[in-house]
Structure 1
Amino acid sequence: MMTFSDFRPAVGAPGGRSRRSPSPAATRLAGALALLVGLTLLAGCTRGGGGADDGGPGAGPASDGASAADVPVGSSERTLTVDGRDRTYRLYRPASAKLTDPVPLVVMLHGAAGTGEQAEEAYGWTEEADRKGFVVVFPDGINRAWAVGPECCGAPAREGVDDVKFITELVRTVGETVPVDPARTYVSGISNGGLLAFRLVCDTTVFAAVGAVATTLTGQCADPKPVSVLHIQGKLDKTMPYGGGPGRRDNGGTGRNPVKIDGPPAPELAARWRAVDDCGEPKTTTEGPVVRTAATCPEGRGVELITITDAGHQWPGGKPNPPRAQRLLNLDPPSTALNATETIWQFFSAHPKPAGG
């Protein structure tokens, strides 16, 4: 089996109460700051609510030990204690998820400078969950970042936070509250969140598939188990370069907010996952700026790289950036060539974990 042991470190930039939706201006700014995932910790991300207006009444604040009866329809704020830290997340239950049978779960990881609330608002996961009947979790990183190794990213990396443990415990805890189907448990993320998503499938067997956007792989991945992989990457991305190597936010992994961006080229990363999954030869199709390289693999798995030739560091199909934020923060506009959320869910739903896998 192919290993990733030669990878160099890289980076990218529990009960609840329902929240009311924010103003349109706050929503637009949340979408913009969602895309500032350049791995420097910014102090002022705007919060964006999401989903509460679709559901019923919220419960009071709660933590570990809740049950399905305590999960309101809509969006809930929740808390989980891991390694002595109170970690927060948002749980979205659509009305279409009745919780009488096992349901799919998607963990969505925000980028650096983002939050779970911002990710909930910016990327359209709650709307997709309403249509398809799955549950979504939007966890919060420490100081708006995720630790994926000692050189990335920001305060969590500097402080040695174990975010793999946090997300693993989060999935277990949600599974004690909601009847989660372990064969249909998935992880998605953008930039720094995508780095953590790849780290999770390197280090655990919790997830049936990963859907990573505008990101790469960081550190050692010596013995990954087979897993379905969808990677969406803009060819003009300067933060997580499509061709590999340091990105524009790289500081060598030093200082108070360490950031090291030095991943492999996106096609090479896809090829390595195909080797792990023992896939057949990939087939490439092109539709405008969208190039898909997809391979089928044993036991129903798949590995796919979607390249958007004219896109930068962004979530395709995400909320538009307000012009002022885009100008001041040098944000890349979301591509309209693809709806990443819908595409990722289609991939997830087609790739559950094999029996016994």
Structure 2
Amino acid sequence: MVAHVARLILAVVLVLAGACAPGRAVADGSSRHTLAIAGLERDYRLYTPVGVQAPAPLVVMLHGGFGSAEQAERTYGWNALADREGFVVAYPDGVGRAWNAGGCCGRPARDGVDDVGFVGAVVDDVAARLPVDRRRVFAAGMSNGGMMAYALACGSDVFAAIGPVAATQVSDCGSPRPTAVVAIHGEADQSVRADGAPGAGIARVDGPPVADVDAFWRRVDACDAPVVDVAPPVTTSAADCAEGRGVTLISVAGAGHQWPGSQPVREGADPPSGAVDATQTLWAFFAAHPAAG
């Protein structure tokens, strides 16, 4: 009996070891993973559609302040889109429900948490579990998560394109690698104001105007003059750039601090605008802008 139990335990150990071995695909659907980074145990969720083709594009979705990986997975509709379009999605968890985006926010900024390093490690861990198309690795983020997406573009060479929503750039960005950028912002956002004035709320976000951030990335990416399309309540400024990159700013009149087209995050939060499906819009941009080369 003891020998039988021992064999069963050994079989379970071998199965688990094989499932976690580099190069082996994780189970379809949602799974949770833990990494040890700089003395901290850090978690992320991973969504793998059934039958996804390898190598697969990867979207890293960064939750907003006070959010979480679970909340981001539930709220923004990425999994359903991944099923239709054939990509995988990683949802990292920030320390204390926030990210160190280079000047904001919360405990990660106070403690100097290396979130650029953590998110890069998440990408590497996903790539060790299943084949990832390294030319098609993208970062999307809401609010503080959007600021973190800018920090990733400023401080790493991992991402072909980023998609910040309801965010501004607060990180030092002295010598960024050219990166495609699509930003979505509500003109009535009082938490991260489009005009760059200090925002309401605990963080009192005080970054540059979103139009200035857009112009900054057009310079970095060596872009042509933008083409502006006005279809109220949405204004789109889109520029074609060197080596197939692009920089686009989508402004939504009347929209507050929210992810357009999503489910409400919590009671009392700004209701999401229905004028834009942010998730679909970001993915369409990502799909059209792989890394050069």
Q: What TM-score comes out, normalization by structure 2 length?
A: 0.91
Q: Structure 2: which amino acid aligns with 1:78?
A: H
Residues 181 and 270 from structure 1, CA distance in 2 versus in 1: closer, same or farther, beyond 3 angstroms?
same
Name 2:9's counterpart in structure 1.
Answer: none
1:334 equivalent to 2:286? Answer: no
Which of 224, 228, 232 does residue 280 from structure 1 map onto?
224
Name 1:7's counterpart in structure 2.
Answer: none
Deviation (angstroms), 1:68? 5.0
Q: Secondary structure at the match of 1:143?
A: helix
Cα distance between partner residues in 1 of 2:79 and 2:16: 21
Deviations 1:228-251 (A, max 9, x none): 00000000000000001210125x
Name 2:255's counterpart in structure 1.
Answer: 311
Q: Secondary structure at the match of 2:90?
A: strand
Which of 64, 69, 74 does residue 116 from structure 1 map onto?
69
Name 2:126's counterpart in structure 1.
Answer: 174
Q: Structure 2: which amino acid aligns with 1:210?
A: I
- Maintained 8 Å contact 1:236/1:310: yes
- Maintained 8 Å contact 1:110/1:192: yes
Deviation (angstroms), 1:352? 0.2
Which of 32, 41, 49 does residue 86 from structure 1 map onto?
41
- Maintained 8 Å contact 2:24/2:130: no
Name 2:234's counterpart in structure 1.
Answer: 290
- Maintained 8 Å contact 2:260/2:272: yes
Deviation (angstroms), 1:65? 5.0
Alignment RMSD (CA, Å): 1.8
Q: Structure 2: which amino acid aligns with 1:181?
A: D
Higher strand share: 2
1:346 equivalent to 2:284? Answer: yes
Cα distance between partner residues in 1 of 2:25 and 2:137: 21
Which of 138, 147, 160 does residue 186 from structure 1 map onto?
138
Name 2:10's counterpart in structure 1.
Answer: none
Unpaired runs of 5+ residues, structure 1, are 1-59, 251-258
1:201 equivalent to 2:156? Answer: no
Cα distance between partner residues in 2 of 1:96 and 1:307: 36
- Maintained 8 Å contact 1:96/1:132: no
Residues 162 and 61 from structure 1, CA distance in 2 versus in 1: closer, same or farther, beyond 3 angstroms?
farther
Q: Secondary structure at the match of 2:211?
A: helix
Name 1:107's counterpart in structure 2.
Answer: 60
Unpaired runs of 5+ residues, structure 2, are 1-14
Which of 205, 215, 219 does residue 167 from structure 2 map onto?
215
More deviation, 263-272/196-205: 263-272
Cα distance between partner residues in 2 of 1:136 and 1:337: 24
Deviation (angstroms), 1:320? 3.3
- Maintained 8 Å contact 1:105/1:185: yes
Q: Of the two, which has the highest radius of gyration?
A: 2
- Maintained 8 Å contact 2:166/2:258: yes
Instruction: Name segments (4+ residues, structure 1) moved above 4 Å.
Output: none
By relative contact order (CA 8 Å, sep 6+), the higher-ranking structure is 1
- Maintained 8 Å contact 1:241/1:247: yes
Q: Structure 2: which amino acid aligns with 1:316?
A: P
Deviation (angstroms), 1:321? 5.6
Deviation (angstroms), 1:268? 1.3
Q: Structure 2: which amino acid aligns with 1:197?
A: A
Deviation (angstroms), 1:145? 0.7
Cα distance between partner residues in 2 of 1:162 and 1:61: 30
Which of 176, 181, 193 does residue 229 from structure 1 map onto?
181
Name 1:262's counterpart in structure 2.
Answer: 206
More deviation, 68-77/176-185: 68-77
Deviation (angstroms), 1:339? 0.4
Q: What TM-score comes out, normalization by structure 1 length?
A: 0.75
Higher helix share: 2
Q: Structure 2: which amino acid aligns with 1:334?
A: P
**Residue correspondences, number:** 279
Q: Structure 2: which amino acid aligns with 1:227?
A: T
Cα distance between partner residues in 1 of 2:40 and 2:68: 17
Q: Structure 1: which amino acid aligns with 2:38?
A: D
Residues 193 and 77 from structure 1, CA distance in 2 versus in 1: closer, same or farther, beyond 3 angstroms?
same
